[in-house]
A = this chain, B = another copy of it.
């Protein structure tokens, strides 16, 4: 419960709405710090995702397993990103996704009920949550469009350009399944580009 992680959250929030000291205080105390070990799950199918989690430190992968056993990565989250099974969280229905820590991590979690309360009692907090939702939605639109219109190599290039942090930090199999290609194929793409550089 270092003050640090909460400060980080508040700084993040201030990017979107400006908070008075007491508001910042109120927002911060609604969250609880949790440490999560690598490979630990914070969301699992069949259990309702009761928290929204802000990543203070570490990395997470959100993925689904199809009935045929195929693994599809839907999202990554590192510092200053959020992790949740959004469908489970906002409807408070059982989750269908897994969210697993890729590294030892620290997160700040807010309970669903608590979040509703914050939003209900404060126009500003309402605004904040709207903004991050809209940005998230816009991001996904760009992503879907890009994926539909580009081949595997372009998707990889685009991703590693936009998120060099992620590209080097997440395991290759996870990135491949995020970009919609086999891990072998991604390995070849990377190799080819590495060779091209030298």
Give chain A's interface residues, CB within 8 Å of chain B. Answer: 39, 41, 44, 47
A32 to chain B, nearest CB (A): 12
Q: Is the interface of A mostly helix, strand, loop or mixed?
A: loop
Number of copies of this chain that the complex holds: 2
Residues of B within 8 Å of A47, CB to CB, are: 44, 47
- Nearest 6 A-B pairs (CB), nearest first? A47-B47, A41-B44, A41-B41, A44-B47, A44-B44, A39-B39
A194 to chain B, nearest CB (A): 33
Question: How far is it, in angstroms, between the C-alpha of A47 and the C-alpha of B42 when the chains are bound?
Answer: 10
Residues of B within 8 Å of A44, CB to CB, are: 41, 44, 47
A65, closest chain B residue (CB): B37
Question: How far is it, in angstroms, between the C-alpha of A42 and the C-alpha of B162 when the chains are bound?
Answer: 38
Question: How far is it, in angstroms, between the C-alpha of A39 and the C-alpha of B47 when the chains are bound?
Answer: 17
A135 to chain B, nearest CB (A): 29
Question: How far is it, in angstroms, between the C-alpha of A29 and the C-alpha of B40 when the chains are bound?
Answer: 33
A177 to chain B, nearest CB (A): 17
Question: How far is it, in angstroms, between the C-alpha of A44 and the C-alpha of B41 when the chains are bound?
Answer: 9
Question: How far is it, in angstroms, between the C-alpha of A44 and the C-alpha of B98 when the chains are bound?
Answer: 14
A106 to chain B, nearest CB (A): 14
Residues of B within 8 Å of A41, CB to CB, are: 41, 44
A34 to chain B, nearest CB (A): 10
